[in-house]
């Protein structure tokens, strides 16, 4: 089944704040600037369109980043679309000209899987292979800002095989169901690995198809694979003068929301930064914060596993600051928060 990136959109919102030296505002909003954790000892994975390792956000840590191309592209893992580079920058990118963009900057290893070709094409076969690779490599946290492309498959069946729309739609839904079952099985296998010291927390962007700015009723539920069993779907919120608000485009029914409006991160093909909107930008925030919790539990108890990290992450979420809450289906348990203590935690909230 074809897949599509959950594209980030150029933002009209200021992507930086003076409080953290002009870095991305999302760092402060999730408490990552007020924590004693930095991702030390944690292995991360980003399954996306690749990465631009020459960008200053990654150039100094390339010895800790492993890239694998699952598309057969001539670029061999290099990101020509820019999406994966931006997401990786939020999850573990280093400071650029003194401006902080990344959350888990002292990660142990990062595994970047390119599952979208240079032409933007992808399918679920590449996703399965990438997830198996990330798991076998020992990734603790996986971030995926992508979705199953049912409309794309219907168009493919109509164009390639000259099928009527009803027949193409029926066959696409059958394929969708089979892929969903396969995905559920793969996630279940990853969860079973936790008993043997393996397994990973998997995060996915909920999608950008909602249109609350047109009509509050125009909401779309979290897409696949975000809504699959065992995956943590992530919605997006943005800043207001007096707090935060779930983004108009953010799909409903997420498990949580993370900064996803005006997110400043690495721009592929150069040395600069770019502000984008999207649940694609929120997903690596949540995954990065999960890495901080993974480290905290390792420090506290000597080890960590996906279930305990998930419990800690969910337990720290807050609805504070969501001044236009609409309803719980829009924000799940609330905003993700890093493991901060005392007065620092109060300031971050």
Pair 250, 330: CB distance under 8 Å: yes
Catalytic residue among 33, 69, 79, 83: 83
User: H helices then E strands: how many in the chain?
Assistant: 9, 14
Pair 103, 73: CB distance under 8 Å: no
Which tokens hold the place of 220?
């779309």
Q: Is beta strand 263-266 parallel, antiparallel or unpaired with respect to 256-259?
A: unpaired
Check if 280 is active-site: yes
Pair 266, 51: CB distance under 8 Å: no
Pair 316, 337: CB distance under 8 Å: yes
- 135: phi then psi, degrees, rounded to nearest 5: -65, -45
Distance CA 232, CA 247 (A): 18
Closest by CA to 329, choosing from 211, 196, 235, is: 235
Pair 284, 143: CB distance under 8 Å: yes
Distance CA 18, CA 201 (A): 33
Check if 78 is active-site: no
Catalytic residue among 33, 280, 285, 330: 280
Catalytic residue among 48, 52, 79, 149: 48
Q: Concatenate the DSSP letters of all residues of 194-213 into one string.
A: GGGT---EEEEE--S---TT
Distance CA 162, CA 154 (A): 11
Q: Concatenate the DSSP letters of all residues of 290-318 into one string.
A: HHHHHHHHHHHHS---HHHHHHHHHHH-B
Residue positions annotated with a catalytic role? 48, 83, 280
């Amino acid at each position: 089944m074809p897949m599509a990136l959950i594209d980030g959109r150029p933002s009209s919102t200021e992507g930086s704040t003076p409080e953290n030296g002009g870095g991305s505002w999302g760092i402060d909003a999730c408490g990552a600037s007020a924590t004693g954790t930095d991702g030390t000892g944690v292995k991360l994975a980003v399954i996306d369109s690749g990465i631009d390792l020459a960008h200053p956000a990654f150039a100094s840590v390339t010895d800790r980043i492993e890239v694998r191309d699952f598309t057969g592209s001539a670029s061999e893992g290099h990101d020509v679309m820019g999406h994966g580079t931006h997401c990786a920058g939020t999850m573990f990118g280093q400071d650029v000209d003194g401006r902080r963009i990344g959350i888990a900057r002292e990660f142990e290893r990062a595994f970047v899987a390119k599952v979208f070709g240079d032409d933007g094409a992808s399918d679920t076969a590449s996703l399965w292979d990438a997830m198996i690779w990330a798991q076998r490599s020992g990734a603790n946290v996986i971030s995926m800002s992508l979705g199953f492309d049912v409309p794309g498959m219907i168009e493919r069946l109509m164009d390639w095989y000259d099928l009527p729309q009803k027949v193409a739609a029926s066959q696409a839904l059958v394929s969708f169901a089979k892929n969903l079952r396969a995905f559920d099985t793969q996630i279940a296998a990853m969860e079973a690995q936790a008993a043997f010291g393996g397994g990973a927390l998997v995060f996915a962007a909920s999608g950008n198809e909602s249109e609350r700015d047109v009509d509050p009723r125009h909401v779309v539920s979290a897409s696949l694979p975000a809504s699959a069993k065992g995956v943590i779907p992530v919605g997006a919120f943005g800043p207001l003068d007096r707090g935060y608000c779930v983004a108009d485009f953010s799909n409903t029914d997420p498990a949580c929301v993370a900064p996803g409006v005006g997110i400043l991160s690495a721009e592929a093909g150069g040395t600069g930064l770019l502000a984008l909107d999207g649940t694609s930008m929120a997903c690596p925030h949540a995954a990065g914060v999960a890495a901080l919790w993974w480290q905290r539990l390792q420090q506290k108890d000597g080890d960590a596993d996906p279930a305990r990290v998930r419990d800690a992450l969910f337990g720290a979420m807050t609805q504070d600051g969501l001044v236009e809450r609409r309803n719980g289906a829009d924000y799940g348990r609330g905003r993700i928060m890093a493991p901060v203590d005392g007065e620092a935690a109060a300031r971050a909230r």
